[in-house]
């Protein structure tokens, strides 16, 4: 079924290109190489009818040149999960799988643009609050669909969110459609003992296993935390921290100060309360995906001009302060004696910010992972997107 399999294996192991090769008995011809790693490559391909596809070629055995070992669980997980869940317009569709002795080819639908990270960095259309809402609510729909079928992604990040671009009918501009991809770390287990699974910027405190000394974590709540960090990416153009652990200076500041997000951008008081609800360090109090969709849909704006005043109700700010108190109490209950001393220092910093602000600020890096985003609004209304979460 695969033409000249050994040659294909050698090409992948040596990180060369298979452009021009045919697979699947000549059904697909590989074109441009669009991504590569130690164990695989991703190509744009054309079938016999001229229809484009994305094809992932993955080694099913160890790389002989790098000496690195293939994790068979990652390969089987992606295939099994994508075969398990019903189709959804915001989740990439796995169309076919070809196996050989040392190779697996996975044929996906083709997304005709690029990932969210690249759009944030390069596409000036990704600055509109309307576009941010559209793209983000589509992402919530995708993740909600996974969770409804007991699938948890565990590696949500802008690089794993493809953006398909299509011209708007009878008007200027484009529509952007979210396609969630890369299910190599996904699981059907609600509870996991694989601490640290995922990408550093997006793993939750409980997944990192440092703040509370836990040995397992809830994968659904972990995905929701990652969605919160992605929301920060979209609206402030940067990453809030390197890793959600107390040793990270910016995460320590987040734990200590309710005004942390105000230091990143001129966000509204209401939006600060939204971020605090989704990035709640207590996973039991973290808001649900449906609630998050409602909160985001109510945001008239995410940031405000320095000269303008924030008209959001004061009770949102009071609610944020109450959340802070509950979070500190949760940290104290869950922490070990060593971690309790850390928590106590955060409480002191929160109560007496003037005493420690200069010391904390001195240790902060000047900049972290800058983004430049601007998504285009799709024809679906926010109400349609949020209602699909029911």
Instruction: For residue range 181-236, list pLDDT tens digits in order.
Output: 999 899 999 999 999 999 999 999 999 998 888 999 999 999 999 999 999 999 98
Instruction: Render pLDDT for 302-331 as a digit per residue (tens, 0 to 9).
Output: 988 765 444 444 434 444 455 555 555 555
Check if 155 is active-site. Answer: yes
* Listed ranges 291-305, 340-354, 373-387; the one with the highest mean pLDDT: 291-305
- Nearest CA to 180 out of 202, 156, 214, 198 is that of 156
- Nearest CA to 298 out of 142, 91, 133 is that of 133
In angstroms, the Cα distances linking 170 to 173, 174, 381 are 10, 11, 17
CA 367 to centroid of chain Cα atoms = 20
Question: How many percent of the chain have pLDDT more than 90?
Answer: 46
Three-state SS string across 360-375, please?
HHHCCCCCCCCCCCCC
Q: Of residues 374 and 101, which shows the higher confidence score?
A: 101
In angstroms, the first-to-last Cα distance of the chain is 43
In angstroms, the Cα distances linking 149 to 136, 181, 224 are 20, 16, 16
Among candidate residues 10, 47, 155, 380, the one labeled active-site is 155
Q: Which two structure tokens, joined as six digits, stand for 356? A: 């420690």
Q: How far apart are CA 318 and CA 257, in angstroms?
A: 14
Based on its alpha-carbon atoms, the radius of gyration of the chain, rounded to whole angstroms, reads 22
Other Cβ atoms less than 10 A from the Cβ of 117: the count is: 18
User: pLDDT at position 86, please?
Assistant: 95
- Cα 78–80–85 angle (5° rounding)? 95
Whether residue 118 is predicted with pLDDT greater than 80 in this model: the reply is yes
Q: Cβ distance 152 to 223 under 8 Å?
A: yes
Query: Would you put residue 173 in left (φ > 0), alpha (ψ -120 to 50) or beta?
Result: left
- Nearest CA to 133 out of 371, 374, 309 is that of 374
**What domains sit in the chain, N to C, each tagged with a CATH number?**
5-109 (3.30.200.20), 114-384 (1.10.510.10)
* 3-class secondary structure, 15: coil
- Helix (H), strand (E) at residue 329: helix 314-334
Q: Which two structure tokens, joined as six digits, stand for 136? A: 């983000």
Q: How far apart are CA 251 and CA 233, in angstroms?
A: 15
What residues contact residue 53 under an 8 Å CB cut-off, 6+ apart? 28, 44, 45, 46, 47, 95, 107, 108, 109, 110
Q: Which two structure tokens, joined as six digits, stand for 277? A: 């609800």
Q: How far apart are CA 255 and CA 282, in angstroms?
A: 12
Q: Which two structure tokens, joined as six digits, stand for 321? A: 């302060």
Confidence of residue 349 (pLDDT cuts 50, 70, 90): very low
């Amino acid at each position: 079924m695969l033409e000249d399999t050994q040659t294909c294996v050698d090409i992948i192991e040596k990180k060369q290109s298979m452009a021009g090769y045919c697979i699947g008995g000549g059904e697909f011809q590989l074109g441009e190489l669009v991504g590569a790693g130690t164990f695989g490559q991703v190509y744009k391909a054309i079938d016999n009818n001229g229809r484009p596809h994305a094809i992932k070629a993955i080694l099913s055995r160890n790389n002989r040149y790098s000496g690195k070992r293939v994790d068979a669980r990652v390969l089987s997980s992606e295939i099994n999960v994508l075969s398990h869940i019903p189709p959804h317009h915001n989740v990439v569709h796995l169309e076919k799988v070809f196996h050989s002795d040392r190779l697996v080819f996975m044929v996906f639908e083709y997304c005709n643009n690029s990932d969210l990270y690249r759009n944030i960095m390069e596409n000036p259309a990704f600055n509109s609050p309307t576009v941010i809402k559209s793209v983000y609510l589509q992402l919530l729909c995708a993740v909600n669909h996974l969770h409804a079928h007991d699938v948890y992604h565990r590696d949500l990040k802008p690089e794993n969110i493809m953006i398909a671009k299509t011209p708007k009918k009878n008007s200027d501009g484009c529509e952007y459609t979210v396609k969630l991809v890369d299910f190599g770390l996904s699981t059907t287990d609600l509870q996991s003992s694989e601490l640290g699974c995922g990408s550093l910027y997006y793993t939750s405190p409980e997944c990192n296993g440092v703040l509370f000394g836990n040995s397992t974590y809830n994968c659904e709540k972990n995905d929701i935390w990652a969605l919160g960090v992605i929301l920060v990416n979209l609206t402030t153009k940067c990453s809030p921290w390197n890793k959600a652990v107390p040793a990270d200076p910016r995460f320590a500041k987040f734990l200590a100060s309710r005004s942390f997000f105000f230091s990143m951008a001129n966000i509204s008081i209401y939006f600060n309360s939204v971020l605090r609800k989704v990035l709640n360090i207590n996973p039991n109090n973290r808001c649900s995906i449906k609630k998050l969709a409602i909160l985001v849909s109510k945001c008239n704006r995410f940031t405000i001009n320095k000269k303008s005043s924030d008209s959001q109700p004061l009770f949102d700010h009071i609610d944020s302060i109450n959340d802070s108190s509950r979070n500190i109490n949760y940290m104290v209950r869950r922490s070990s004696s060593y971690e309790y001393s850390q928590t106590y220092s955060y409480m002191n910093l929160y109560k007496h910010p003037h005493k420690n602000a200069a010391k904390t600020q001195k240790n902060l890096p000047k900049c972290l992972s800058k983004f430049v985003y601007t998504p285009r609004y799709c024809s679906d209304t926010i109400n349609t997107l949020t209602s699909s979460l029911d």
